Amino acid sequence: MSYVAHDESAFVRPAEVEEAELYHPKTFIGKYIWSQDAKVIGVQYAITAIAVGLVALVLSGIMRLQLGFPHTFSFINPSNYLQFVTMHGMIMVIYLLTALFLGGFGNYLIPLMIGARDMVFPYVNMISYWVYLFAVLLLMASFFVPGGSTGAGWTLYPPQAILEGTPGAHLGIILMLVSLAFFIIGFTMGGLNYVVTVLQARTRGMTLMRLPLTIWGIFMATILALLAFPALFVSAIMMTLDQTLGTSFFIPALVSRGEHLDYSGGSPILFQHLFWFFGHPEVYIVALPAFGIVSDLIAVHARKNIFGYRMMVWAIVAIGGLSFIVWAHHMYVSGMNPYFGFFFATTTLIIAVPTALKVYNWVLTLWRGNIHFTVPMLFAIGFIFTFVNGGLTGLFLGNVPIDLPLSKTMFVVAHFHMVMAVSPVLVVFGAIYHWYPKVTGRMLNDSIGKFHFWVTFLGTYAIYFPMHYLGFLGVPRRYYAIQNLDFIPPSAQSLNVVITIAALVVGAVQLVFLYNLVWSYFKGKPSGDNPWQATTLEWQTAHTPPTHGNFGSTLPVVYRWAYDFSVPGAETDFIPQNQPPSKKAGSTEET
Amino acid sequence: MATVVWWLVRQTINVRPWIAQRPIDNVYGDGALSLPPVKVGLGVFLAVATSLFALLISAYFMRMAGADWTTLAVPRGLWLNTAALTLSSVAMQWTRVAARRGRIDGVRIGLIAGGIFTFCFLAGQLWVWQQLNASGYFVAANPANAFFYLLTALHGLHLLGGLWVWGKTTAKVARGVEVGAVRLSVELCTVYWHYLLLVWLVLFALLLSTPPRQSSCTPDTIAICGVTK
């Protein structure tokens, strides 16, 4: 690595702002409740998302109890089993992962990492959170309405989603659809902020090609979400109208329970197209921030510059673009014309190319790096393994002839959870361990963190690896109980017991993580400003946690990219982005 | 998305970021657009709205292939409404020009005229709804009706959102602020009005061009049309 001489004109006067111009709320409510500070909003998003995620975690535990020990628990019946499946899926994908990555990490990190004081539209940002909270409350309310929450499956396919016999076919599904519509409205408010802030509020010297990959991931995922969520919005409104006013957007002519319904000619496939036009980009709405964050975790904790930075940016954008033309691979079993299947299988396999590039670059970053096995690094490495495993089974399912027999089996559940659930959640954990010191000023307990990692990592493999075999055996997904299916051997049930025990252990260990969060907040070791010796701007603030305005009266000026680790000849093994090029005599690294 | 790709193709992966250190001369951040953030924000929002309407139009075409589709006879009142919306857009453009020239009186008149024509359009849409309903074109009677009500409702809601900003701007003008204080708001309102006029013209053209009966599903497209054999 070599450095070129730097022009003297780079030494510019930093942007300054009068103390009075900074946002300083006076009251507790203004500071922590109706806050317009992106950091507070980020924490609000994160706490709400994790809280609702815990509900979904409990639901998954109940589902596993039923699958592992069928006919044992009287409080689980076929109806509420389907409700648990549905609510678990929707909460985890939308209300936890999307909200946490974009609303949580996006809000906290974007202004800090790009050297801005706040989001460009703080008031709209605040409203965004409160609309999100309202959407969450609506969804939770659906548990308590007559008929309970919807049990239509997280994809909410019509016509069964609104037909008698499906749990929550009245108020349950309406609340779900209205909640989704509000979620999307809230997200759009936040998303406008994230995009415009990245485009317009970067500090001096922070070119787009000097952005940390975390920001690239969040930025691109937000663009995807802004363009893809309208598809879910449209389908939610149309299905609400089908349910309430009796329109026939999606509902065909039907005889239900011997009665001719008033619907005619609606197209369930139309819903599927709309849903998956949102649904597949949604995978990358969750994955791209995870890709970005894990890149930064690996670089910081391996003390090495990220390998192929520009290629990584290209890959993020390419994945984002391609994610809009693969949606129908979720619909191979819908009776699709084979030529469409061929097209979507091809695009699906093409998207593996930039994704694989990213995996190679992570591994090459680790290669000969000074790897510190800190808790964030453990989670980052765990992510690479899990993502490769989940991604490879995605290549199987991306092919039509293999997908057709496997589509209705537990193989899909295993694949999906490896690639879309465990992988991003490992990054979430890694990111929390990494940035918790900046948010609170205290380190999370390291021993508890390592215990949490190993049980979670090994536990999830104990859950999902055997599940692939269940899929091969033909064990169907979504079923309350396996009965009268002679082709499934009794050993499948033994495997289900093992999976359930592993799932309960993994679920329980998350309580240890929560304990760590609370305990460390009060008793954790003080972290200082930059405990990981990282280069990015959020670690260069004068205060930890950062105060309102983030950087005091003077904004930082950026002189270099975010990955100056282990630079030959440098005094330390990291050079912050805002450190000007030195003219130190005898220094060879830069002039 | 197109902007991002356009920008990206100008980048090369051959450049090494750790030596690409160039002088810093941009106050607002290197590469930032020389536009106020709120203008960029409006641009992003229009992209979201375009996605919404484009998806609805796609759904319209796909649903149109259903055997039960009976194309709605376009009510004549929509021509009047279209004229009202066009006039509102013209008035907003006039306001924008007045704001640029610093003429607060022109801004005041233009805003009021734009608002009145917009309210006329919205009232006209409700009147058309009422007429259709009275003639038996209920929302659930046919998918074409349902799409008509849905598309016009969503378009109207977008206009109502615009009227909220229009209301704030007009109130400021009524309080007697300097023209410079509302110039940006006027400009944003104008862009938004033009955009919603364009959307309406596309929707109106869609309604006018829809043939009385449509059955475009061939065996090759049957799956994507969602019609069972």
pLDDT of residue A449: 98
A285, amino acid identity = I
Q: Does residue A540 contact residue A576 with C-beta atoms inside 8 Å?
A: yes
Structure tokens at B135: 């003639």
Q: Quick count: other Cβ atoms within 10 Å of Cβ A337?
A: 14
Q: Quick count: other Cβ atoms within 10 Å of Cβ A528?
A: 11
CA distance A340 to A337: 5
DSSP code of A103? I
Q: Do A241 and B146 touch (CB under 8 A)?
A: yes
Q: Does residue A559 contact residue A206 with C-beta atoms inside 8 Å?
A: no
Secondary structure class of A259 (helix, strand, coil): strand
Residue B148 Cα, gap to closest chain A Cα (Å): 12
The complex's ipTM? 0.91
pLDDT of residue B211: 76
Closest in A12, A197, A226 to B47, CB measured = A226
CA distance B210 to B74: 10
Neighboring chain A residues of B55 at a CB cutoff of 8 Å: 230-231, 234, 274, 277
The residue among A417, A521, A404 whose CA lies nearest residue A459 is A417
For residue B26, is pLDDT > 70? no
Could you tell me if B226 lies within 8 Å of chain A, comparing CB atoms? yes
pLDDT of residue A486: 86
Structure tokens at A269: 């496939």
For residue B5, is pLDDT > 80? no
3-state helix/strand/coil string of A411-436: HHHHHHHHHHHHHHHHHHHHHHHHHH
CA distance B38 to A200: 10
Residue with tokens 């796909």: B62
CA A154 to chain centre: 17
Closest in A270, A309, A340 to B59, CB measured = A270
CA angle (A480 as vertex; A270, A271 as ends), nearest 5: 5
pLDDT of residue B219: 38
Computed over its alpha carbons, how large is the radius of gyration of chain B? 23
- CA-nearest residue of chain B to A232? B52
Q: Do A267 and B12 touch (CB under 8 A)?
A: no
3-state helix/strand/coil string of A549-570: CCCCCECCCCCCCCCCECCCCC
Residue A60 Cα, gap to closest chain B Cα (Å): 33
CA distance A358 to A433: 23
Closest in B1, B37, B140 to A120, CB measured = B37
Residue A230 Cα, gap to closest chain B Cα (Å): 5
pLDDT of residue B20: 56
A446, B52, B112 from A506: Cα distances, Å:
18, 40, 63
pLDDT of residue B228: 37
CA distance A377 to A449: 11
Closest in B52, B221, B228 to A230, CB measured = B52
- CA-nearest residue of chain B to A244? B140
Q: Quick count: other Cβ atoms within 10 Å of Cβ B134?
A: 8
Cβ contacts of A21 within 8 Å, gap of 6 or more: none
- CA-nearest residue of chain B to A250? B63
Q: Do B56 and A264 touch (CB under 8 A)?
A: no
pLDDT of residue A30: 78
Could you tell me if A451 lies within 8 Å of chain B, comparing CB atoms? no
- Count Cα neighbours of A237 within 13 Å in the Cβ-side half-sphere: 21
A440, A500, A548, B166 from A40: Cα distances, Å:
12, 37, 10, 31
Closest in A199, A336, A560 to B223, CB measured = A336
For B205-214, letters b (16+ CB in 10 Å) and e give ebbeebeeeb
Q: Do A317 and B5 touch (CB under 8 A)?
A: yes
Could you tell me if A2 lies within 8 Å of chain B, comparing CB atoms? yes
3-state helix/strand/coil string of A459-496: HHHHHHHHHHHHHHHCCECCCCCCCCCCCCCCHHHHHH
Structure tokens at A277: 């036009």
- CA-nearest residue of chain A to B145? A247
Residue A256 has phi, psi (to 5 degrees) of -120, 120
Neighboring chain A residues of B63 at a CB cutoff of 8 Å: 249, 266-267, 270
pLDDT of residue B17: 65
Could you tell me if B66 lies within 8 Å of chain A, comparing CB atoms? yes
* Run of H or E including B1: none
The percent helix, strand, coil of chain B (3-state, each to 5) is 70, 0, 30
- CA-nearest residue of chain A to B8? A314
CA distance A400 to A423: 25
pLDDT of residue A10: 41
CA B148 to chain centre: 16
Share of chain B above pLDDT 70, in %: 79
Could you tell me if A14 lies within 8 Å of chain B, comparing CB atoms? no
Could you tell me if A245 lies within 8 Å of chain B, comparing CB atoms? yes
pLDDT of residue B221: 37
- Give the mean model confidence (pLDDT) for residues B130-159: 94
**pLDDT < 50 stretches in chain A:** 1-13, 20, 583-591
pLDDT of residue B213: 58
Q: Quick count: other Cβ atoms within 10 Å of Cβ A585?
A: 5
The percent helix, strand, coil of chain A (3-state, each to 5) is 65, 0, 35
Burial class (CB in 10 A: 0-12, 13-18, 19+), A54: middle
DSSP code of A260? E
CATH superfamily, region B71-228: Cytochrome c oxidase, subunit III, four-helix bundle (1.20.120.80)
pLDDT of residue A149: 97
Interface of B with A in 130-149 (CB under 8 A): 139-140, 143, 146
B42, B116, B192 from B179: Cα distances, Å:
21, 21, 20
Number of CB pairs, chain A paired with chain B, less than 8 A apart = 203
Q: Do A200 and B62 touch (CB under 8 A)?
A: no
- CA-nearest residue of chain B to A211? B17
CA angle (A579 as vertex; A576, A581 as ends), nearest 5: 125
- CA-nearest residue of chain A to B15? A310
The residue among A550, A553, A527, A549 whose CA lies nearest residue A540 is A550
Closest in A197, A201, A265 to B68, CB measured = A265
When mean pLDDT is compared over B68-72, B73-77, B165-169, the highest value belongs to: B165-169
For residue B60, is pLDDT > 90? yes
pLDDT of residue A32: 82
pLDDT of residue B16: 65
Q: Do A206 and B1 touch (CB under 8 A)?
A: no
The residue among A148, A231, A133 whose CA lies nearest residue A190 is A133
Q: Does residue A112 contact residue A212 with C-beta atoms inside 8 Å?
A: no
Residue with tokens 């940016």: A313
CA distance B219 to B217: 7
pLDDT of residue A187: 97
Lowest-confidence range among A18-32, B6-20, B21-35? Answer: B21-35
The residue among A200, A113, A91 whose CA lies nearest residue A576 is A113
Q: Do B140 and A262 touch (CB under 8 A)?
A: yes
Helix axes B77-100, B183-209, angle to 10 degrees: 160
CA distance A121 to A107: 12
Beta bridge partners of A255: A260
Q: Look up the pTM and report it.
A: 0.92
Residue A262 Cα, gap to closest chain B Cα (Å): 9
CA B141 to chain centre: 27
